[in-house]
């Protein structure tokens, strides 16, 4: 790779690579993100490359593997151009037909097309699939256009020209003003003004200034940052370099979970390639600006997603938060001014610099600008990564993009914002995806997890699940978090087991308030959200557990009773054979009975019964 000595060198290279890209009239783009790899995309990709060569199409067809396309459950998937043809759930056995029919004969293979679960019809093109059509894919859209392991593909799309523009024609103060005017708010959960944070860090006195990319994504079910870092690491690096120029930093860190091996590999490779081109290191593009990035592996502690705990970990200390009266923009890493943003925030920066603050600000609501990526999971037909304009309603995300309930059951609630987020009922689904509206409703944007639950979910059990997670992940430094979460969990467990009392619900609310106001960091301050939101919107379920000693959803084992309907049962004995606790006795002549004292309510007997004779009450 030639080292780029100035802006003209970069412009010439980008133009050359862009022209070469335009000459590729036919392309096959396969997703090779983590989810598709788990579905077996790599053998399929190898087979496609081999078949292209076998059929003599190497000079005519460009094949690339990319980062996550978002529609993870449809992997392995591929997009064929021209035509925007979308093939889903590909297998090695499909490859010969794909190449011979679609690439050689320009014929669509109908059986490989995506089937819409709502209409049941085949959909030919990616942009016609409801999952994609209802999104605004500003960041995720780039994932489908480039190989994350090839810097030339990023450059062919104009990569690093935002950095070049910044270094050659914009002052640090103007960069900060542009980001502030765009209305970009931190996508890591807090929603703090990015431009304001940069300005505070820029003005803070210190021997050194630092920038950090927080890729320590610990929310259950959330993988937005991982997929951006896997699929477009150069956008994150370029954003960090622009931020470093703006605040006066020479060193940056990407703090990424060690459990994200593909993201780690891609970002480390991207840093190496950027060095070779002279886009990182000393005197970038012939200017007096020098900047470097190091990758640091996190150990998987959820609390290290909090800024001060992350910086303590970065220094080699125990990952514990500190009091918020000392701000990291003034005294952060090594007690120096430090600007920390998450992956999605940094990835937005080059686009803001390239397109202008007004371009970014025209999307979204008055106080929440741009787009936001969510990990849509749970009981919906379409799951995966979705990117929507701020202000889109929860109903649009869940029903238009998600396709509605998965199994024909009624959707009951959605939990937004990760384990510390709130659970909102269907009646609140017209709320906008907006930092302030979600907060007012008792939830939060968080980093972008969105878990949809149908009427088979017990909301008391949901609160118990998240409290269990938060108790395990609490660092234990402050008493309110260490003891308060544990005590809240004790009370919710009592309710789930039928031992709760009405007085405990009042105590639970008091505890939740104490934990939220008395904890050091966001883990403790938001830990009460699952409790308070479920008490607010689903209080009748708590009361049913206490007053009727029953779980309306039939989830809590202590409140479930199994019996065998003698009129339906054919005495086949499958339930007794499969019961791991030998809680079912009897024979074909006398019939079978369930011993309630031995039964653990595991539900295996229900699954084993072909006649649906096991009755749950």
- 206-210, 285-289, 445-449, 574-578, range with the lowest pLDDT: 445-449
pLDDT-derived band at 468, boundaries 50, 70, 90: very high
Intrachain domains 18-125 and 371-454 with the same fold: no
State the average pLDDT over residues 452-469: 94
DSSP string of 344-371, one letter each residue: HHHHHHHHHHHH-HHHHHTSB-SSSBSE
pLDDT at 190 (0 to 100): 79
Q: What share of the chain is helix, strand, coil (3-state, %, to 5)?
A: 45, 15, 40
**Who contacts 8 (Cβ-Cβ below 8 Å, separation ≥6)?**
none
pLDDT-derived band at 27, boundaries 50, 70, 90: very high
Q: Which residue has the higher pLDDT, 117 or 88?
A: 88
pLDDT at 294 (0 to 100): 97
pLDDT at 368 (0 to 100): 93
Q: Which of 572, 32, 1 is nearest to 265 (CA)?
A: 32
State the average pLDDT over residues 546-566: 89
Integer Cα distance of 496 and 508 in angstroms = 14
Integer Cα distance of 442 and 203 in angstroms = 35
Integer Cα distance of 577 and 589 in angstroms = 16
State the average pLDDT over residues 579-590: 88
pLDDT at 218 (0 to 100): 80
Tokens of 593: 């009975």
Tell me, rounded to whole angstroms, the distance of Cα 380 from its chain centroid. Answer: 16
Tokens of 508: 């639970």
State the average pLDDT over residues 462-480: 91
CB 52 within 8 A of CB 103: yes
User: Tens digits of per-residue pLDDT, 355-372?
Assistant: 999 999 999 999 999 999
pLDDT at 566 (0 to 100): 87
- Select from 3.30.70.270, 3.40.30.10, 3.40.50.300, 3.30.1060.10 the CATH code of 18-125: 3.40.30.10
Sign of CA dihedral 361, 362, 363, 366: positive
State the average pLDDT over residues 231-255: 97
Sign of CA dihedral 194, 195, 200, 202: positive
Cα angle 229, 352, 130 (rounded to 5 degrees) comes to 65
User: Tens digits of per-residue pLDDT, 145-196?
Assistant: 999 999 999 999 999 999 999 999 999 999 999 999 999 999 987 789 999 9
Predicted confidence (pLDDT) at residue 505 exceeds the cutoff of 80: yes
Strands 562-564 and 614-616 come out as antiparallel
pLDDT-derived band at 557, boundaries 50, 70, 90: confident
pLDDT at 23 (0 to 100): 81
Strands 210-215 and 251-257 come out as parallel
State the average pLDDT over residues 291-301: 92
State the average pLDDT over residues 274-280: 96
Computed on alpha carbons and rounded to an integer, the radius of gyration of the chain in Å comes to 27
pLDDT at 1 (0 to 100): 65
Sign of CA dihedral 566, 570, 573, 578: negative
State the average pLDDT over residues 25-30: 92
Predicted confidence (pLDDT) at residue 425 exceeds the cutoff of 70: yes
CATH of domain 459-547: 1.20.1440.230
Cα angle 183, 187, 192 (rounded to 5 degrees) comes to 55
CB atoms within 10 A of CB 421: 27
- CA torsion 253→304→369→327, rounded to 10°? -80
Predicted confidence (pLDDT) at residue 301 exceeds the cutoff of 70: yes
The answer to whether the bond into 91 is cis (omega within 30° of 0) is: no
Mean pLDDT (the chain, rounded): 92
Looking at the domain 151-361, which fold is it? Rossmann fold (3.40.50)
- So what's the architecture of 561-616 in CATH? 2-Layer Sandwich (3.30)
Per-domain boundaries in the chain: 18-125, 151-361, 371-454, 459-547, 561-616
Cα angle 425, 444, 295 (rounded to 5 degrees) comes to 135
**Who contacts 98 (Cβ-Cβ below 8 Å, separation ≥6)?**
48, 51, 78, 80, 87, 90, 109, 112
pLDDT at 520 (0 to 100): 86
pLDDT-derived band at 258, boundaries 50, 70, 90: confident
Integer Cα distance of 416 and 556 in angstroms = 23
The answer to whether the bond into 393 is cis (omega within 30° of 0) is: no
Q: Which helix (H) or strand (E) is 169 found in, with range?
A: helix 161-169
pLDDT at 447 (0 to 100): 75
Measure Cα distances from 107 to 79, 121, 288 in Å.
14, 19, 55
Looking at the domain 371-454, which fold is it? Ubiquitin-like (UB roll) (3.10.20)
Q: Which of 557, 555, 545 is nearest to 600 (CA)?
A: 557
């Amino acid at each position: 790779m030639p080292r780029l000595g100035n802006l003209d060198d970069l412009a010439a290279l980008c133009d050359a690579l862009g022209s070469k890209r335009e000459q590729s009239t036919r392309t096959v783009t396969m997703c090779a993100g983590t989810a598709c790899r788990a579905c077996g995309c790599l053998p399929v990709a190898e087979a496609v490359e081999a078949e292209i060569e076998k059929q003599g199409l190497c000079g005519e067809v460009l094949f690339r593997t990319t980062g996550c396309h978002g529609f993870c459950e449809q992997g392995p998937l591929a997009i064929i151009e021209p035509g925007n043809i979308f093939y889903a759930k590909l297998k090695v056995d499909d490859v010969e037909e794909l190449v011979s029919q679609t690439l050689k004969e320009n014929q669509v293979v109908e059986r490989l097309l995506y089937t819409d679960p709502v209409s049941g019809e085949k959909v030919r093109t990616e942009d016609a699939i409801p999952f994609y059509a209802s999104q605004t894919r500003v960041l995720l859209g780039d994932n489908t256009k480039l190989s994350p392991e090839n810097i030339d593909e990023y450059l062919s799309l104009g990569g690093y020209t935002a950095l070049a523009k910044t270094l050659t024609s914009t002052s640090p103060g103007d960069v900060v003003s542009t980001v502030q005017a765009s209305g970009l708010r931190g996508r890591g959960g807090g929603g703090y003004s990015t431009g304001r944070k940069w300005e505070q860090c820029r003005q803070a006195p210190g021997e050194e200034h630092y920038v950090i990319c927080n890729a320590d994504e610990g929310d259950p079910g959330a993988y937005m940052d991982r997929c951006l870092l896997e699929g477009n690491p150069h956008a994150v690096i370029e954003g960090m370099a622009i931020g470093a120029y703006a605040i006066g930093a020479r060193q940056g860190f990407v703090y990424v979970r060690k459990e994200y091996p593909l993201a780690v590999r891609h970002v480390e490779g991207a840093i190496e390639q950027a060095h070779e081109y002279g886009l990182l290191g000393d005197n970038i593009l012939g200017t007096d600006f020098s900047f470097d990035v190091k990758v640091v592996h996190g150990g998987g502690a959820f609390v290290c997603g909090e800024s001060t705990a992350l910086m303590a970990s970065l220094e080699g200390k125990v990952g514990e938060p500190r009091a918020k009266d000392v701000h990291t923009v003034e005294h952060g890493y090594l007690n120096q001014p430090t600007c920390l943003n998450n992956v999605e925030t940094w990835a937005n920066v080059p686009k803001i610099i390239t397109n202008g603050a007004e371009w970014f600000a025209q999307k979204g609501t008055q106080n929440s600008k741009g787009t936001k990526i969510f990990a849509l999971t749970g009981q919906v037909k379409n799951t995966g990564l979705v990117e929507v304009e701020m202000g889109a309603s929860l109903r649009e995300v869940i029903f238009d993009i998600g396709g509605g309930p998965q199994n024909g059951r009624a959707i009951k609630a959605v939990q937004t914002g990760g384990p510390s987020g709130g659970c909102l009922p269907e009646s609140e689904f017209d709320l906008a995806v907006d930092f302030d509206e979600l907060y007012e409703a008792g939830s939060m944007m968080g980093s972008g997890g969105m878990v949809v639950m149908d009427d088979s979910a017990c909301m008391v059990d949901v609160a118990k699940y998240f409290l269990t997670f938060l108790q395990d992940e609490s660092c234990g430094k402050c008493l309110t978090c260490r003891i308060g979460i544990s005590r809240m969990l004790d009370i919710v467990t009592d309710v789930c087991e039928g031992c709760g009392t009405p007085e405990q619900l009042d105590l639970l609310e008091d505890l939740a308030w104490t934990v939220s106001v008395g904890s050091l960091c966001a883990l403790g301050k938001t830990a009460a959200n699952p409790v308070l939101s479920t008490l607010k919107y689903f209080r009748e379920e708590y009361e049913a557990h206490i007053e009727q000693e029953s779980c309306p959803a039939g989830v809590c084992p202590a409140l479930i009773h199994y019996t065998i309907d003698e009129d339906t049962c054919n005495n086949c004995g499958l339930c007794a054979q499969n019961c791991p606790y030998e809680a079912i006795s009897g024979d074909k002549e006398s019939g079978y009975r369930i011993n309630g004292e031995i039964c653990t309510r595991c539900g295996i007997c229900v699954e084993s019964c072909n006649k649906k004779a096991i009755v749950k009450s």
